[in-house]
């Protein structure tokens, strides 16, 4: 098989890449840890953005993007700041078809739900926009 690897994109950190894996059904066991200051910027990011996982195939010194999984992060703003997804769809970036699944686990060391509620109180325009977006 063609060697493949996963790239993880989160917040304002450099992209992280797993080791290469040569198999038709790769089983990556890959973890990233980030130390992040909790501020308004992080809270807004978690409320509006996603963690992106990209499956790539090596092609000499280059690589081809073959699949992408996008995981919304807003659940981390709740009182239980963790997320465990066993079969999240891995989609072909060209046509959106599902090419596989990814198991993803995301945890925060501490709950920041109270800070999120405070943020919403202090930023009423942002609160209205976020609540409207989550209702859509």
Q: DSSP for 3-30?
A: EEEEEEE-TTSPPEE---EESSS-----
pLDDT confidence of residue 6: 94
Residue segments in the chain with a per-residue pLDDT below the cut of 70: 136
pLDDT confidence of residue 84: 96
pLDDT confidence of residue 21: 78
Instruction: Give the dihedral sign, CA 91/102/52/60.
Output: negative
> What 8-state DSSP symbol labels residue 133?
H
pLDDT confidence of residue 1: 73
Look at the block and give the residue holding tokens 């290469």. Answer: 20
pLDDT confidence of residue 50: 95
Query: Which pTM value belongs to this model?
Result: 0.87
pLDDT confidence of residue 23: 74
What CATH number does the domain located at 3-135 have? 2.60.40.150
Length of the chain: 136
pLDDT confidence of residue 90: 96
Domain ranges of the chain: 3-135
């Amino acid at each position: 098989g063609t060697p493949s690897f996963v790239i993880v994109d989160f917040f304002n950190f450099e992209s992280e890449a797993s080791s290469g894996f040569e198999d038709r059904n790769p089983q990556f066991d890959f973890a990233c840890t980030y130390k992040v200051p909790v501020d308004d910027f992080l809270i807004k990011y978690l409320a509006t953005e996603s963690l992106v996982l990209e499956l790539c195939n090596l092609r000499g010194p280059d690589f081809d993007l073959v699949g992408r999984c996008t995981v919304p992060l807003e659940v981390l703003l709740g009182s239980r700041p963790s997320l465990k997804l066993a079969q999240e769809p891995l989609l072909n970036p060209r046509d959106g078809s599902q090419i596989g699944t990814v198991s993803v686990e995301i945890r925060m060391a501490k709950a920041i739900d109270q800070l999120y509620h405070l943020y919403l109180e202090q930023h009423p325009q942002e609160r209205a926009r976020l609540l409207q977006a989550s209702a859509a």
